[in-house]
Amino acid sequence: MEFLYPEKWLSKASTGERIASEIRMRIISGLIESGATLSENKLAADFNVSRSPVREAIKILASENMIRLERMGAVVTGLTEKEITELYDVRLLIETFVFERLVSMDTNELVHDLNKRLEFMEIAMKYHDADEFSFQDVLFHETIIRTSQHSYILMIWNNLKPVMESLILLSMRVRFKEKYEDFTRILNNHKLYIEAIEQKDRNLMIESLHKNFDDVQGQVDDLWRSQQVLTKGVVQENE
């Protein structure tokens, strides 16, 4: 089995979390279609594990509404375009709230950390490393959110993160192949984020937020392209 989820992102994950991460990627990418029933025995065989970590993975995916538990097994519900939009709505709400808190905080260390993340993103772009770019992109936003020191906001972020990072990863992989020139714009948007935080300029914060979050349709289109590419690859392998 060829895995979609990066192995290097799983160093601290349990076996069940590893399996959930891969199944989640396969559901979001369309390799496992909505309506499909997941079998514990087949998943255990596919991942060469016992049924116990498979049950853990299914429990995780059910909590994310990626699957629905029924008597006959776990039925894949997938992710609709509406749900993707709602996911980004919640991210926008979180980061808008966090930005307001940052205005009254010392952000020197945060700005330093974000500039470091941005440099890593630039290096990943230079070497066409979509996975590392995605990892640093997620960490960039997580660094901002953690700085707020708001436990319930962080809890919401942690609940969103697994699905969000899968969406970002699939989108970035497509963009690196088909829209590489778009990454200059993406990096400039992140520079605007840092500038807004450094200057504590609310108007600039609003501008930077919308430049980063008004591209939801582009993310949906990238996901659709990713599904096409991956599905085509599976068909070719089976011919």
Q: Distance (Å, rounded) from C-alpha 213 to C-alpha 59?
A: 30
Task: Report if residue 234 sits inside a domain.
Answer: no
> 69 and 182 share a domain?
no
> 212 and 199 share a domain?
yes
- Model pLDDT, residue 209: 82
Q: What DSSP line would sit under the chain, residue for residue?
A: ----S-GGGGTT--HHHHHHHHHHHHHHHTSS-TTPEEPHHHHHHHHT--HHHHHHHHHHHHHTTSEEEETTEEEE----HHHHHHHHHHHHHHHHHHHHHHTTS--HHHHHHHHHHHHHHHHHHHTT-HHHHHHHHHHHHHHHHHHT--HHHHHHHHHHHHHHHHHHHHHHHHHHHH-GGGHHHHHHHHHHHHHHHHHT-HHHHHHHHHHHHTTHHHHHHHHHHHHHHHHHHHHHHH-
Task: Report if residue 185 sits inside a domain.
Answer: yes
> 22 and 47 share a domain?
yes
Could you list the pLDDT tens digit for every one of the 239 residues in the chain?
678 999 989 988 999 999 999 999 999 988 999 999 999 999 999 999 999 999 999 999 999 999 999 887 899 998 888 888 888 889 888 998 999 899 889 999 999 999 999 999 999 999 999 999 999 999 999 999 999 999 999 999 999 999 999 999 998 998 898 889 888 988 999 999 999 999 999 889 888 888 777 665 455 555 555 555 554 544 344 44
CATH code where residue 96 lies: 1.20.120.530
- Model pLDDT, residue 234: 42
> 72 and 91 share a domain?
no
Task: Report if residue 194 sits inside a domain.
Answer: yes
> 35 and 119 share a domain?
no
Closest by CA position to 35, among listed 67, 1, 3, 58 = 67
Q: How many CB atoms lie within 10 A of CB 186?
A: 19
> 98 and 206 share a domain?
yes
Give all strands of the β-sheet with 73-76 in edge-to-edge order. 37-38, 73-76, 67-70
> 86 and 202 share a domain?
yes
- Model pLDDT, residue 214: 67
CATH code where residue 53 lies: 1.10.10.10
Task: Report if residue 34 sits inside a domain.
Answer: yes
Task: Report if residue 14 sits inside a domain.
Answer: yes
- Model pLDDT, residue 227: 54
- Model pLDDT, residue 122: 97
Q: How many CB atoms lie within 10 A of CB 69?
A: 12
> 216 and 120 share a domain?
yes
* Residue matched to tokens 């945060």: 110
Structure tokens at 208: 């930077």
> 73 and 90 share a domain?
no
> 99 and 184 share a domain?
yes
> 50 and 89 share a domain?
no
- Model pLDDT, residue 235: 38
Task: Report if residue 1 sits inside a domain.
Answer: no
Task: Report if residue 164 sits inside a domain.
Answer: yes
> 185 and 103 share a domain?
yes
Name the domain boundary from 78, 93, 118.
78
Closest by CA position to 144, among listed 181, 68, 91, 182 = 91
- Please give the C-alpha separations between residue 161 and each of 38, 126, 168, 191, in angstroms, as whole numbers: 23, 26, 10, 22
Task: Report if residue 238 sits inside a domain.
Answer: no
Name the domain boundary from 78, 106, 134.
78
Which residues span the domain enclosing 68?
7-78
Name the domain boundary from 51, 78, 105.
78
Global pTM reads 0.86
What's the structural domain count of the chain?
2
Q: How many CB atoms lie within 10 A of CB 233?
A: 12
Structure tokens at 77: 């519900």
